[in-house]
């Protein structure tokens, strides 16, 4: 199964208005929850491992998990801490900028023992998605990395930093934490914006190629309208252009890409077969190209709808068959 350790939150997306009063549409979101939802809608078994509040927002998130057939642990779904909230505004390119209200919230209060207890209940955990806010915010960030180092058998780690500078108080501490996360991961998805923060003023393609060699990992670089490039640990490169659909907004585009990609690989036993230890299988150029195309199609469909609204497997198949 696919495990996702991450945050679930409520996105409040501003509506265009010339009035002094600003109104918002609210959506269930968060990098981790979005990726888990996207993978589940593709038909994969997915478990969301994150802490939810017992407030009204937490109850709404819980309903979302149930509706989208994402597994969860009830022990983590009644925290006294409040839910994490995000407010987003869209620019002319429909790209979102965020303000987060996260201090003392449920998602960032996860501790190592809680995390290990939940992970140990999943004996078929083959790959784990980590990243974004929960790796940036204390104290939960330390618990996640410590638990992953301790848990056996260690699953394949898929890292999506999904950097949010607005919540990073200590850049140096964050960079050190990312180095630690990079060293654990076999698959790392990075946007050009992520790399601009992590390694400023460098050519992102050259840097991605260098990171793949340095960490012996697969680097999946996303470039917005420039498509995506997969840099293999062995020095190979596979490029994929975007699938161009009308864009409503880009909320959850990267999360949908990640979830669809993980599902595509999981369904082809790329993380090992049942009964065997988690092992990253051979990823040849043909498989990588098909996986990128699938993930790109899922992301394009998501961006054609308001908020994070990942497609089903059937919707992706329909789009690709029409191209």
pLDDT band at residue 22 under the 50/70/90 scheme: confident
Counting the structural domains of the chain, the total is: 1
Answer yes or no: is pLDDT of 96 > 80: no
Query: Strands, DSSP E only, in the chain?
Result: 2-5, 9-14, 24-29, 46-49, 84-90, 96-101, 127-131, 156-160, 187-191, 218-222, 228-231, 237-240
pLDDT beyond 80 at 92: no
Q: pLDDT value at position 277?
A: 84
CATH of the domain at 264: 3.40.1190.20
Whether the CB-CB separation of 10 and 83 falls below 8 Å is answered with yes
Q: How, if at all, do strands 24-29 and 46-49 pair?
A: unpaired
Confidence of residue 97 (pLDDT cuts 50, 70, 90): confident
Residues 2 and 47 sit within 8 Å (Cβ to Cβ): yes
Q: Considering the chain, what is the average pLDDT of its residues?
A: 95
Mean pLDDT of 270-277: 85
The rounded distance, in Å, linking the Cα atoms of 192 and 203 is: 9
Which residues are paired to 29 by β-bridges? 9
Tell me the backbone φ, ψ of residue 2, rounded to 5 degrees: -100, 125
Phi, psi of 207 (to 5 degrees): -65, -45
Tell me the average pLDDT across 169-198: 98
Q: Which domain holds residue 150?
A: 2-15+24-322
Average pLDDT rounded to a whole number, residues 179-187: 98
**In the predicted model, is pLDDT for residue 17 greater than 80?**
no
Q: Is 26 helix (H, G, I), strand (E, B) or coil?
A: strand
Return the bridge partners of 239, or none. 229
Predicted confidence (pLDDT) at residue 285 exceeds the cutoff of 80: yes
Using 50, 70 and 90 to split pLDDT, how confident is the model at 84?
Answer: very high
Residues 230-239: what's their mean pLDDT?
A: 96
Residue 310 phi, psi dihedral angles, 5° rounding: -65, 150
pLDDT of residue 276: 80
Beta strands in 64-139 (DSSP E): 84-90, 96-101, 127-131
Helix 56-67 and helix 31-41: axis angle, to 10°?
Answer: 20
CB atoms near residue 8 (< 10 Å): 34
**pLDDT given for residue 81 in this prediction:** 97
Of the listed ranges 92-101, 202-211, 274-283, the one predicted with least confidence: 92-101
Q: Residue 288 above 90 pLDDT?
A: yes
With a pLDDT cut of 90, the percent of the chain lying above it is 86
Q: pLDDT digits over 188-215, tens only?
A: 999 999 999 999 999 999 999 999 999 9
At 121, is the pLDDT very low, low, confident or very high (cuts 50, 70, 90)? confident
Res. 91 pLDDT band, cuts 50 70 90: confident
Confidence band for 246, pLDDT divided at 50, 70 and 90: very high
> What mean pLDDT is predicted for residues 60-64?
98
């Amino acid at each position: 199964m696919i495990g996702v350790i991450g945050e679930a939150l409520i996105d409040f997306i501003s509506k265009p208005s010339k009035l002094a009063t600003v109104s918002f549409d609210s959506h269930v979101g968060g990098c981790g929850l979005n990726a888990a939802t996207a993978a589940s809608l593709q038909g994969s078994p997915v478990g969301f491992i994150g802490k939810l509040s017992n407030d009204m927002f937490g109850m709404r998130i819980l309903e979302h998990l149930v509706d989208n057939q994402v597994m969860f642990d009830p022990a983590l779904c009644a925290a006294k801490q409040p839910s994490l909230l995000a407010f987003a505004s869209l620019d002319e390119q429909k790209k979102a900028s965020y303000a987060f209200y996260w201090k003392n919230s449920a998602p960032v209060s996860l501790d190592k023992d809680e995390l290990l207890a939940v992970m140990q209940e999943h004996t078929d955990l083959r790959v784990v998605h980590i990243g974004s806010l929960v790796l940036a915010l204390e104290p939960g960030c330390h618990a996640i990395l410590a638990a992953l180092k301790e848990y056996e058998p260690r699953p394949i780690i898929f890292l999506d930093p999904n950097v949010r500078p607005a919540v990073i108080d200590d850049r140096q501490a964050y960079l050190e934490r990312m180095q630690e996360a990079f060293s654990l991961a076999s698959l790392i998805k990075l946007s050009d914006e992520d790399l601009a923060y992590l390694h400023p003023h460098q050519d992102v393609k050259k840097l991605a190629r260098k990171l793949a060699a340095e960490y012996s990992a697969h680097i999946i670089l996303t470039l917005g309208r420039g498509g995506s490039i997969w840099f293999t640990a062995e020095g190979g490169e596979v490029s994929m252009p975007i699938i161009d659909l009308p864009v409503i907004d880009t909320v959850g585009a990267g999360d949908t890409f990640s979830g669809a990609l993980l599902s595509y690989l999981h369904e082809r036993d790329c993380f090992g077969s049942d009964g065997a230890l988690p092992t990253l299988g051979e990823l040849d150029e043909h498989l990588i190209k098909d996986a990128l195309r699938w993930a790109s199609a899922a992301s394009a469909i998501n961006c054609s709808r308001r908020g994070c609204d990942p497609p089903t497997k059937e919707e992706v198949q329909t789009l690709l068959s029409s191209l």
